[in-house]
């Protein structure tokens, strides 16, 4: 049977199942494939390791890469399995429920050892925020290589969506931090991957783990909620590890507008507001209502982009850090970098937001932080996508670092407090807080050692030690050690 014929038969089976067996896969519109249908692939992806291109990354070669080039062998551990990468494209939805397509990769382990063959646990991975529209987890570098090394090389089948709006997706925008859409995207990728397993000769074990970092931490938790509330008959989550994510969106947004912005906000805010606009949240009548005139034109199509962020800044499309006007109040004592000339957000928009905060405060009760009725449309959108509104029934870890300048750790502590008040306290890991008899102490100690090494290296070079750590804190430091903690947490959940 040819691959093309097999794909058509698989799609026909999915269509029949959607119409007769599985309401969750019902057609969005007559004539369209159902959500989760496999539209293309699985297609083998050659792995480019600079010196050569291979079809399969063997453990010895991966070990060499991790030790010599990435310096990550101590983080990932010894590779045990070979890794093959396959791409696919699947049917999903956009931010307003419109039909959309997206791409994903399947990272398959193989090898003679028992850990690399037979039915393997599945890891559904959600990646962090990227601004490059061409991004794909199929390119095995950066985050993708770290995930492949930490999980696929250790015997997990990894399913990693690119998200709608990236890579092979034809959606002209990305539904950034739209909890319902992003969870739907993840679920649909997993559905398509299940169809692809048979074509690849892969066997999935019953264990399903969810994790993700930064934006992906939010997406992983949103996916856990969606599976629990909407797809429990189709999937069963073994455990979830949400890492350094903005789960408490309403809390974080109120903090930002109160004068405590976080690093990267001038690029994340346009992604977020465009996502809300596309979902019908009516965050503004025109971009000029929210953004200063010099930035408003074209901002809704600015990100994600094929142009580097530094180039967008140099061309005057975005400010580097000036979120609010220099004289806009209030301002936190250490937030002066976010208050400057040529700012992004109009003071009138910020003042309206602050007025609504005063009139309709949230966060009055940690057990019911969203028991409020904001009237400002951006606050409404943040509240709608805040994940403190359900009680998880499967094991959950929240991990991050208390000094994270990009995604404040208060997201984790506020979410922990909410879940604890509802009888479902997750495992909370603050990499900055080692405790006696701490199950995650080795990872916290390794984190502290690398942090201190970064500081010492900066001092030797005559650089700013604080900045050296801050610049890499979220993207590397916390990411590595939270992923180590997540893998340990998952391993303890496998019988």
pLDDT confidence of residue 68:
80
Q: Are 482 and 427 in contact (CB under 8 A)?
A: no
Q: What would the two tokens of residue 436 be?
A: 């006696």
Question: CA-to-CA distance for 35 and 370, rounded, in angstroms?
Answer: 31
DSSP state of 80: -
Relative to beta strand 157-161, strand 99-110 is antiparallel
Looking at residue 402, what is its pLDDT? 98
Q: Are 418 and 398 in contact (CB under 8 A)?
A: no
User: Which structure tokens are listed for 146?
Assistant: 């770290």
Q: What are the tokens at 35?
A: 């959500």
pLDDT at 49: 84
For the chain of 495 residues, list the mean pLDDT of each consecutive stretch of 10.
38 36 45 94 93 92 86 92 98 97 98 94 98 95 95 98 97 98 98 97 97 98 98 98 98 98 97 98 98 97 94 96 98 96 98 98 97 98 98 98 98 98 97 92 96 96 96 96 98 83
Cis peptide before 290 (omega within 30 of 0): no
Please, where in the chain does CATH 3.40.50.1820 lie?
A: 36-237
Q: Give me the residue label for tokens 């293309």.
A: 40
Angstrom distances, CA of residue 133 to CA of 13, 173, 306, 335, 439: 32, 9, 6, 30, 39
- The pLDDT value recorded for residue 104 is 98
Instruction: Tell me if 428 sits within 8 A of 398, measured CB to CB.
Output: yes
Superfamily of domain 36-237: Alpha/Beta hydrolase fold, catalytic domain (3.40.50.1820)
- Residue 327: CB atoms within 10 Å: 9
pLDDT the model gives residue 22: 35
Q: How far is CA 76 from the centre of its chain?
A: 20
The set of residues, in sequence order, having a beta carbon less than 8 Å from that of 339 and lying 6+ positions away, is 322, 323, 324, 325, 326, 327, 328, 331
Q: What is the pLDDT of residue 123?
A: 98
Rounded Cα–Cα distance for residues 140 and 326 (Å)? 42
């Amino acid at each position: 049977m040819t691959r093309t014929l097999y794909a058509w038969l698989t799609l026909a089976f999915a269509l029949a199942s959607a119409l007769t067996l599985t309401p969750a896969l019902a057609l969005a519109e007559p004539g369209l494939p159902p959500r989760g249908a496999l539209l293309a692939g699985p297609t083998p992806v050659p792995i480019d390791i600079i010196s050569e291109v291979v079809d399969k990354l063997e453990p010895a070669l991966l070990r060499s890469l991790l030790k010599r080039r990435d310096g990550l062998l101590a983080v990932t551990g010894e590779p045990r399995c070979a890794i093959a990468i396959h791409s696919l494209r699947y049917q999903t939805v956009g931010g307003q429920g419109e039909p959309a397509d997206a791409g994903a990769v399947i990272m398959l382990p193989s090898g003679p050892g028992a850990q690399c063959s037979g039915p393997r646990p599945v890891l559904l991975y959600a990646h962090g925020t990227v601004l490059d529209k061409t991004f794909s987890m199929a390119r095995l570098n950066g985050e993708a290589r770290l995930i492949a090394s930490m999980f696929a090389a250790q015997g997990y089948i990894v399913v990693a969506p690119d998200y709608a709006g990236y890579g092979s997706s034809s959606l002209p925008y990305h539904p950034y931090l739209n909890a319902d859409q992003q969870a739907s995207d993840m679920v649909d990728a997993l559905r398509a991957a299940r169809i692809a397993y048979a074509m690849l000769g892969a066997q999935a074990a019953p264990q399903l783990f969810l994790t993700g970092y930064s934006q992906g931490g939010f997406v992983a938790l949103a996916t856990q909620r969606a599976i629990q509330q909407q797809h429990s008959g189709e999937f069963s989550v073994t455990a979830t590890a949400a890492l350094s994510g903005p789960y408490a969106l309403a809390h974080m947004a109120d903090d930002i507008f109160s004068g405590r912005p976080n690093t990267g906000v001038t690029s994340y805010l346009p992604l977020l507001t465009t996502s809300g606009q596309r979902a019908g949240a009516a965050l503004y009548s025109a971009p000029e209502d929210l953004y200063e005139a010099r930035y408003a034109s074209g901002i809704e199509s600015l990100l994600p982009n094929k142009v580097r962020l530094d180039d967008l800044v140099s061309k005057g499309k975005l400010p580097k850090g000036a979120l609010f006007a220099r004289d806009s109040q209030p301002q936190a004592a250490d937030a002066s970098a976010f208050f400057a000339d040529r700012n992004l957000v109009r003071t009138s928009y910020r003042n309206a937001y602050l007025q609504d905060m005063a009139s309709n405060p949230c966060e009055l009760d940690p057990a019911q932080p969203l028991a409020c009725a904001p009237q400002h449309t951006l606050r409404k959108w943040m509240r709608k996508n805040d994940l403190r509104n359900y009680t998880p029934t499967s094991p959950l870890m929240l991990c991050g670092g208390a000094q994270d300048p990009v995604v404040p750790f208060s997201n984790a502590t506020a979410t922990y407090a909410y879940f604890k008040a509802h009888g479902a306290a997750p495992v909370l890991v603050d990499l900055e807080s080692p405790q006696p008899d701490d199950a995650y102490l080795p990872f916290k100690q390794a984190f502290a050692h690398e942090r201190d090494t970064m500081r010492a290296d900066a001092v030797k070079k005559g650089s700013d030690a604080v900045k050296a750590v801050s610049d890499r804190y979220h993207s590397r430091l916390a990411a590595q050690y939270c992923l180590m903690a997540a893998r340990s947490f998952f391993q303890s959940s496998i019988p």
